[in-house]
């Protein structure tokens, strides 16, 4: 297992508005296609906490990753949106904070509180066992996620974002296959990747069913509160499961159980064109250059 993990780079990414974020252990880069057609590339060194032993603690690293995606990911996503809208329509300051809080609140309400309320109603009306109510709740949660992703995927702007998401996966898959990062090689690579956040979301839905079934029946208020309070714990477990699954795909039975996770990515990724792939490659190359530079410097300081 350890030998396999060393061979598997921990590079990941995120789709932006007309761009792609790529990140490693020590650095990140993001490239964006400007309204004028130019590729704008920005790089950042990551704080030492990202490469500390803290990030190696099971379950804790999953919670950290979720928080990181919310804070750092949203900041860079906002930067990419601002590039497209220009100085006059920038999102920043309190407007950004309120937008983030509203989005977070709506996500918790839609994907955790609402399924709990509906399943509670069905459970009471049909006099169902509590474990069956938990299964219904989990099925509703997953259904809401799929319907939401499918619905927004019909919007032209989101279709573009999903194409950039596909280019991110293709670029990382090409790199992990030891291919030269040319547009041709990247376009020929798969747009599905086992470490994708979409796979993580499906894992969250399944793990929540198991956890809430174990917890058993609760009064409505406590039922809703546990769904909110336990989100970090569920995220930590889901992260470890997704990580384990990605590192064991050489086993046929693991590949079999990973198929639903990969299939869900067909909703969140589209096939990119050459111009989109060029942005993803520029982002990855910039990240890799700074990543290697930072790694060498930190290793020298430790000698």
pLDDT tens digits along 84-129? 887 656 666 666 667 767 877 888 898 889 999 999 999 989 988 8
Q: Report yes or no on 172 lying in a domain.
A: yes
Please tell me the predicted confidence (pLDDT) of residue 91: 63
Which burial class, exposed, middle or buried, applies to 280 when counting CB atoms under 10 A from its CB (0-12, 13-18, 19+)?
buried
**Does residue 145 form part of some domain?**
yes
Q: Residue 3: is its pLDDT beyond 80?
A: no
What's the number of domains the chain is made of?
Answer: 1
Segment of 78-92, 191-205, 224-238 carrying the highest mean pLDDT: 224-238
Q: At residue 161, does pLDDT exceed 70?
A: yes
Residue 2, domain member (yes or no): no
Residue 20 lies inside a defined structural domain of this protein: yes
Q: Across residues 132-159, what is the average pLDDT?
A: 90
- Domain containing 23 equals 12-302
> Which pair of structure tokens corresponds to residue 155?
């919007």
Question: Do the domain assignments include residue 99?
Answer: yes
In a domain, 28, yes or no: yes
- 87 within a domain of the structure (yes/no): yes
Q: How much is the pLDDT for 250? A: 86
* Residue 6: inside a domain: no
pLDDT bucket at 42, cuts 50 / 70 / 90: very high
Mean pLDDT value of segment 153-169? 94
What is the pLDDT at residue 88? Answer: 59
* pLDDT higher than 80, residue 36: yes
Averaging pLDDT over each range in 148-162, 163-177, 196-210, which range is the top one? 163-177
- pLDDT tops 70 at residue 289: yes
Determine what percent of the chain is predicted with pLDDT higher than 70. Answer: 91
Q: What is the pTM of this model?
A: 0.84
Most confidently modeled range among 61-70, 105-114, 124-133, 186-195: 186-195
Q: Is the pLDDT of residue 8 over 60?
A: no
């Amino acid at each position: 297992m350890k030998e396999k993990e060393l061979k598997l780079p921990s590079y990941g990414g995120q789709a932006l508005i007309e761009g792609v974020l790529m990140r490693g252990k020590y650095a990140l880069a993001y490239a964006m296609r400007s309204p004028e057609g130019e590729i704008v590339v920005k790089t950042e060194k990551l704080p030492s906490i990202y490469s500390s032993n803290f990030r190696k603690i099971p379950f804790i690293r999953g919670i950290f990753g979720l928080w990181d995606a919310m804070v750092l990911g949203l900041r860079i996503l906002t930067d990419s949106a601002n590039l497209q809208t220009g100085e006059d329509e920038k999102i920043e300051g309190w407007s950004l904070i309120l937008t983030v809080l509203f989005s977070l609140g709506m996500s918790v309400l839609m994907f955790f509180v609402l399924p709990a309320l509906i399943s509670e109603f069905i459970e009471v009306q049909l006099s169902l066992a509590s474990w069956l109510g938990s299964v219904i709740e989990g099925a509703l949660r997953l259904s809401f996620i799929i319907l939401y992703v499918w619905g927004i995927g019909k919007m032209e702007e989101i279709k573009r974002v999903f194409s950039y998401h596909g280019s991110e996966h293709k670029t990382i898959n090409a790199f992990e296959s030891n291919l030269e990062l040319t547009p041709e090689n990247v376009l020929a690579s798969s747009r599905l990747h086992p470490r994708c956040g979409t796979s993580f979301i499906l894992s969250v839905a399944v793990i929540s069913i198991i956890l809430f079934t174990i917890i058993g029946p609760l009064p409505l208020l406590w039922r809703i509160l546990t769904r909110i309070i336990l989100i970090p714990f569920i995220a930590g477990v889901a992260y470890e499961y997704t990580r384990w699954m990605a590192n064991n795909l050489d086993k046929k039975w693991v590949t079999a159980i990973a198929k639903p996770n990969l299939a869900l990515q067909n909703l969140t990724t589209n096939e990119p064109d050459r111009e989109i792939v060029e942005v993803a490659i520029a982002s990855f190359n910039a990240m890799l250059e700074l990543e290697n530079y930072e790694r060498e410097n930190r290793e020298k300081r430790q000698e």
